[in-house]
Amino acid sequence: MALLVLEEGESRCLDCADLGHLVFLPRGDTALTRRSRDGSALSAVVVRFNRRRSRYERQGVLVEEAALARAEERCLADAEARRRRRARDARRREAEDLRFTEAFAREIRGLFPGCPADRAHAIAAHASVRGSGRVGRSAAGRALSEAAVTAAVRAAVRHTDTPYDQLLMSGVPRYEARRRIAATVEARLEEWLEGWQDELAARA
């Protein structure tokens, strides 16, 4: 892009306007532009006339090359710091999610002693996925309320242990599909609820 300087009504080249030693930095990176201008003893705004809109529009700035280089180094350092922070945050969230899933699984086992441990963990992991909108991430789910935990278990049984999904795919309305599989769901929940009695009998 050829750049000209409008000076006293006349167009001059950059060298003629004593700006030839500057380098052009396109618009788009606000932090880089700000740091480049702050570190440059001489700078100039570059505009272009938009005939359709009948106005001048900013295209970027001219700054000293050394100032741009310093600004780029600072921005890269910031980017690396942000990357490290994101990595730390991701590890922290992963650890929090793991602890929450384990707590949710323990709550399932507490309410449904007959539920196999691996199944309880699978239900907890599914229900508590961050950002999923599932019951485990609701306010009640995060509080490990009995209603929320039971709802997660019921949903897991519905989708895994019954033909509920197949009924939906075949066009059966949701409420009718739930009615058809309700007895199977309740039977499985009762089986898992009574697990503590079986455990006591086995110990005896």
The Cα 196–Cα 109 span in angstroms is 10
Same domain for 185 and 137: yes
- Which domain, by its residues, includes 19? 4-76
Choosing from 76, 94, 120, the residue where a domain stops is: 76
Last residue of a domain, one of 48, 76, 104: 76
Q: State the chain's mean pLDDT as an integer.
A: 87
Judge if 198 and 141 occupy the same domain: yes
Average pLDDT over every residue of 187-193: 93
pLDDT of residue 194: 82
Question: pTM for the full model?
Answer: 0.61
Q: Where does a domain end: 76, 101, 134?
A: 76
Lowest mean pLDDT across 55-59, 123-127, 172-176? 55-59
Instruction: Please indicate, yes or no, whether residues 121 and 173 belong to a single structural domain of this protein.
Output: yes
> Would residue 14 count as lying in a domain?
yes
pLDDT, mean of residues 170-177: 94
Question: Is 193 found in the same domain as 129?
Answer: yes
Name, in order, each residue with C-beta under 8 angstroms of 104's C-beta and a sequence gap of 6 or more: 124, 127, 128, 136, 141, 144, 149, 152
**Token pair in block for residue 39:** 């570190």
- What is the total count of domains within the chain? 2
Q: Looking at the structure, tell me whether residues 70 and 135 fall in a common domain.
A: no
Higher pLDDT, 200 or 120: 120
Predicted confidence (pLDDT) at residue 15 exceeds the cutoff of 80:
no
Per-residue pLDDT of 20-55, as tens digits, reads 888 888 888 899 999 999 999 998 888 888 888 888
pLDDT recorded at residue 82: 86
